[in-house]
Amino acid sequence: MTEKTIKKDEVVTLDRKEMRKVSAERIAEITREFTEGFRFLENFPKSVTFFGSTKTAETDPYYQSARELSRRLVRELGYSVVSGGGPGIMEAADRGAYEAGGDSIGLLIKLPDAQPTNAYIKRSISFYYFFARKVCLAFGAEVYIFFPGGFGTLDEFFEIITLLQTKKITGAPIILFGSEYWGKLKDFLERELLKQGYITPEDLNLFTITDSHDTVLEIVKNTPVKANLPFNGSRS
């Protein structure tokens, strides 16, 4: 995708013709990533997407919880499990699905130093653009499950909850697993955002905080599966 070979920290100025060329190439690449990503996900009509920290160790209780929850989602409800394909919570989710004999799906990101991927991914697709990958992580999932995490996890949470708030997506529950962690975020939302009128009381019903696998499975079981329509580039 690089049009000119440049040295580190070198600033290259493009003329108008070169800018048009670069823009056209980027638009084509973005379109390709979205098209291939959507078509890839068509193969998994019943899926849940896991989010959480890449730094969660195997010995961490949240790792073990995500692993067991993923295993149960596959065995008891027949769901595919989607993650970003990296270590930490993503590995735990993929591992549980893999061990249960289900589909463990990784949506990978191409990084300069190569993204660390876990060993439990059965099917994967790679993206150059973070935003294209993020859209595909949200696309088609019946339920979003968030374990504790850092900036990336919070970024994904706030983007998806904004899409639900504005009804750009509908009917897809957000589950925040780990009340000790997520309860503090809810306290902030109530104390600051709700108090100052930036959100409504109904907005706080867009997510569920729980520490119970049974509660998660009950939510997933009662969530309608989206129609598996072929991707044709049109809006839905």
The answer to whether residue 6 scores a pLDDT higher than 90 is no
Q: Among positive and negative, which fits the CA dihedral 173, 56, 211, 220?
A: positive
In a domain, 230, yes or no: no
User: pLDDT (tens digit, 9 = 90+) per residue, 91-111?
Assistant: 999 999 999 999 999 999 887
Range of the domain at 59: 46-181+209-221
Q: Is residue 57, in this structure, part of any structural domain at all?
A: yes
For the chain, what is the mean pLDDT?
Answer: 89
Per-residue pLDDT, averaged over 159-166, amounts to 95
**Residue 3, pLDDT above cutoff 80:** no
For residue range 36-59, what is the model confidence (pLDDT) as tens digits? 988 988 888 899 999 999 999 999
The answer to whether residues 133 and 110 touch, using CB atoms and an 8 Å cutoff, is: no
Residue 19 banded pLDDT, cuts 50, 70, 90: confident
Task: Please tell me the total count of domains within the chain.
Answer: 1
Let me know if residue 235 belongs to a domain. no
Give this prediction's pTM.
0.85
Model confidence at 235: pLDDT above 50: no
> What CATH number is associated with residue 58?
3.40.50.450
Instruction: Tell me the mean pLDDT in the region 173-194.
Output: 98
Q: Using the 8-state DSSP alphabet, how is residue 192 labeled? A: I
Domain assignment present for residue 111? The answer is: yes
Spatial CA neighbour of 136 closest among 58, 8, 62, 39: 39
32 within domain boundaries? no
In a domain, 216, yes or no: yes
Residue 151, number of CB atoms within 10 A of its CB: 7
**CA-wise closest residue to 104 among 113, 114, 117:** 117
127 occurs within a structural domain = yes
pLDDT for res 14: 75
pLDDT greater than 90 at residue 226: no
41's CB contacts (< 8 A; 6+ apart) are 47, 82, 136, 139, 140
pLDDT in tens, 164-178: 999 998 889 999 999
Task: Count the neighbouring beta carbons within 10 Å of the beta carbon of residue 21.
Answer: 13
Q: Is residue 94 part of a domain?
A: yes
pLDDT at 43: 86
DSSP string over 35-103: HHHHHHHTT-SSEEEEE--TT--TTSHHHHHHHHHHHHHHHHH--EEEE-S-STHHHHHHHHHHHTTS-
